[in-house]
Amino acid sequence: MAVSPLVTAPGEPSQTSTTNAAASPFKRLPSAVPSSSTGTPMLLGHHQSQNAPSAGGGASTMTLDPIEQMNETEKRKYIKGKKLGEGTYANVYLGHSRSDPSVLVAIKKIKVQQQYRDGLPLDAIRETKWLRELHHPNIISLLSVFSSKDQNLNLVLEYLPLGDLEMLIRDIDNVTYGAADIKAWMGMLTRAVWFCHDNWVLHRDIKPNNLLIAADGEVKLADFGLARGFGDPGYKMTSNVITRWYRPPELLFGARHYAGAVDIWSVGTVFAELILRTAFLPGNTEVEQIALICRAIGTPNEDNWPGVTQLREYTVPSETFPVVGKDSYMARFGAVGPDGVDLLMKTLVLDPKNRITAKQMLEHRWWHVDPKPRSKEDLPRKAEGGDKKMGADLKRRNGLVEDEPRGQKVARKLDFGQGK
């Protein structure tokens, strides 16, 4: 990790940072962002090439310490353009590279928040930490990070002009798509999730409007503000993550030790939403969400999920439903064929231990039966309004449904404490 532009080599920066510790937020980063436990030689190689042009500091910046100098060079590489969106959490600007104006980027400027006045918002740290590590065609790439005046953190992300999957799902009048398109999108989403899990990262906020579409039609998983590593026994994780409609039952029941299965449930609900063209389980409250799951999939009990009644917040409606069989799934989701329905059912298994993993999903036979997934160039797309949508997607607070009824737009206070 010594090659990352953000992390200084241990030892030498500690002397400089004592002189003016408050000048640059990056000085805190080495401690706030522990060097990756998942770094592979492949990932390191990528960082090398990314870092190469950044090291030439100009003579004018010689008065700054090396870290500030690097920050300055990173900052000078991009020119900020018009504003794409503004939110409580971040502003999003269109920008382009100084050396090559045809390279468009989205610059996400994180606002200084009252809640985290002494440091950086956790979302920003998580996002920076994980996006710096993960390089995959189906994951939005973080090109650079720098701080601007007022110690605002700026994330330079690749520009994805064609909006998100939610736009396409909701625009029933103008956008039509079929089983081949759904298979292509699901393939890209599943690959992104598989790559995250393969590197021991949970995304924890998979939903259609976090699936942005690149100019060539490639779907990219974005918004890693709730991501974290997983697999440590004994560490409690918060159950208050993932936007409610896509939240799996174990999180609704307050499980504190979970794994990749939570993301798989979200993938399953996105799959269902792609077919239905409306949210599959749109609960307004958590109680309602559990009721919807019981009705649509079945009531979790000791038979289909051993130990579920021991979970902290296990409550189910008094009216119980048996686990729904394949026939009723076929009636609702038959558009993707029996194999697609089989895959969907396996992602929506109540017991997370029996839920399919991302790798097993990719090994499923559905990918090999007709119709063949549409090539990404031919996928349906919507031309206008995509840039605004990217702005709207990036500025949003994590883990919340947009335009919630009953004025529930208040940001939820997230419990990130672990090991309490």
Partner 1 sequence: MSRKATMGTRAPGGMGGPISSSSSSAIPDIGPEDMCPVCKTMRYLNKEMKFLINPECYHSMCSACVDRIFNAGPNQCPHAGCHKTLRRKGFRAAFFGDLSVEREVDIRRRVAAVFNQQEDDFVDLQAYNDYLQKVEDLTFDLVNGSDAQRSAAEAELQRWEAEHKADIERNRKAGREADEQSRRRRAAEQEAVRQRRLEAAREAQEEKQERARNREAELESLAKGQVPADATQRVQLKRRGQANRAVEAAAAAAIAATSAAGVVSSGDGGRLSIRGLKEKKKAPAPEGPYDPFGGPVFVPTRYKLHPALRHHDSDRYRNDSQHRTGGFSFDDYYARVMFEAFAGLGVFIEDEKEVGIGLSASEVVGMAAGLAAVSSDRMDLD
262 vs 401, which CB is nearer to partner 1? 262
How many residues bind partner 1 (CB under 8 A)? The answer is: 63
**CB atoms near residue 8 (< 10 Å):** 20
CB of 226 vs partner 1, minimal distance in Å: 17
222 vs 261, which CB is nearer to partner 1? 261
Query: 85 a known binding residue?
Result: yes
Of 26, 305, 329, 333, which lies in the binding site for partner 1, with binding defined by CB under 8 A?
305
Report whether 72 contacts 65 (CB < 8 A).
no
**Is 390 near partner 1 (CB under 8 A)?**
no
CB of 38 vs partner 1, minimal distance in Å: 7
Query: 108 a known binding residue?
Result: yes
Which member of 65, 123, 181, 205 is catalytic?
Answer: 205
Of 17, 69, 71, 141, which lies in the binding site for partner 1, with binding defined by CB under 8 A?
69
Report whether 222 contacts 126 (CB < 8 A).
no
Identify whether 205 is a catalytic site residue: yes
Query: 89 a known binding residue?
Result: yes
Of the candidates 267, 248, 207, 206, the residue with the CA atom closest to the CA atom of residue 353: 248
CB of 107 vs partner 1, minimal distance in Å: 23
Q: DSSP secondary-structure letter at 408?
A: -
Exposure of 257 in the CB half-sphere (CA atoms within 13 A): 10
Number of H helices, E strands in the chain: 14, 9
CB of 174 vs partner 1, minimal distance in Å: 25
109 vs 132, which CB is nearer to partner 1? 132
Distance CA 216, CA 376 (A): 7
**Is 381 near partner 1 (CB under 8 A)?**
no
Which region among 191-199, 209-217, 334-342, 393-401 touches partner 1 (by CB under 8 A)?
191-199
Report whether 271 contacts 165 (CB < 8 A).
no
Residue 378 burial class via C-beta count within 10 angstroms: exposed 0-12, middle 13-18, buried 19 and up? exposed
Site string for partner 1, 10-49 (x = CB under 8 A): ---------------------------xxxxxx-xx--xx
Distance CA 139, CA 363 (A): 20
Catalytic residues: 205
